[in-house]
Amino acid sequence: VEVKRRSGFERERTLPMHLILGLEAAGVVEAAGPACQLHRPGDEIWFAGNIAHTGCNAEFQLIDERLVAPKPRSMSWEDAAALPLTGLTAWEALFNHMAISSPATVGQRILIIGGAGGVGSIAAQLAKRVAHLQVTATASRPESADWCRMQGADNVIDHADVLAQDPALGQFQFVLNCASTEQYWDAMCGLIAPEGKIVAIVETSTPLNLLPLMNKSASFSWEHMSTRSLYGLNSLSAQHAILAQLSQLVDLGVITSTRTTTICGLSAATVRQAHELIETGRSVGKVVISY
């Protein structure tokens, strides 16, 4: 998301940018406005911010308290900073859009396309350790496949097997696409089970044909982590609630950090370094900048 925001600005606006990048962080509350009810100065917190506001690649950030929740006590700052944005995205995809809930969906099958990325990693943890689904994730390299298994994938397959709609894959009640919606569209329509649910988090440049989903009564929905803040929805505090639950799951030892890389020191150079890692398209888990 950060790489896309930066490159969008570089394309459309005159440099230097006036929007500070950085959508998720862990830190300490320095000051709270008089109407704040959820957090006080000194609280250790984490958050995923508002895409339309200035961000956290900075020493201080002003943020709506409804986007903020207590940081897991048992986690380091670096481990915690890896989770809020991807955790929220995966949570909303699984538990809101797909309506996955125990015990009704226990044992059902989910396919996570792009399993080793930031969202795919935490989605696999939530799907396996919280929702108790049968998790199949896609990865194309031994190291990304190993990582997917560590996150909870029962089965790791190559992206190409999905594109080929290998009949041996069977059908999935749920498909979460964290890589390319258009590239996998036909395959997702083929692999989704009747009454199944497909969720995608990546924008397309071409229209999607929903017709193949009709006979199956299968549904498709977008997940966009920033919808509530972009549209000023009253449900904004749901973001606080989800992050608070995620924090508890971490402290219970159910969820672990997806941090794989830490870059020390916050500067334009280290932000650039982090963006370059993501731009390879091959990063595994999450990149964190420690302050």
Ligand X SMILES: NC(=O)c1ccc[n+]([C@@H]2O[C@H](COP(=O)([O-])OP(=O)(O)OC[C@H]3O[C@@H](n4cnc5c(N)ncnc54)[C@H](OP(=O)(O)O)[C@@H]3O)[C@@H](O)[C@H]2O)c1
Binding site for ligand X (CB under 6 A): 1, 4, 85-86, 89, 113-114, 116-120, 138-141, 144, 159, 178-180, 201-202, 223-225, 278, 281-284
Q: Which is nearer to ligand X, 60 or 231 (CB)?
A: 231
How near is the Cβ of 96 to ligand X at its closest, in Å? 12
82/24 Cα distance (integer angstroms): 8
How near is the Cβ of 284 to ligand X at its closest, in Å? 5
Q: Which is nearer to ligand X, 39 or 92 (CB)?
A: 92
Residue nearest to ligand X (CB): 117
Q: Which is nearer to ligand X, 39 or 271 (CB)?
A: 271
Q: How many residues does the chain have?
A: 291
Q: Which is nearer to ligand X, 105 or 283 (CB)?
A: 283
Q: Which is nearer to ligand X, 169 or 202 (CB)?
A: 202
How near is the Cβ of 79 to ligand X at its closest, in Å? 17
How near is the Cβ of 39 to ligand X at its closest, in Å? 24
Phi-psi region of 217 (alpha: psi -120 to 50; beta: other; left: phi over 0): left
Q: Which is nearer to ligand X, 39 or 81 (CB)?
A: 81
How near is the Cβ of 155 to ligand X at its closest, in Å? 14
How near is the Cβ of 97 to ligand X at its closest, in Å? 11
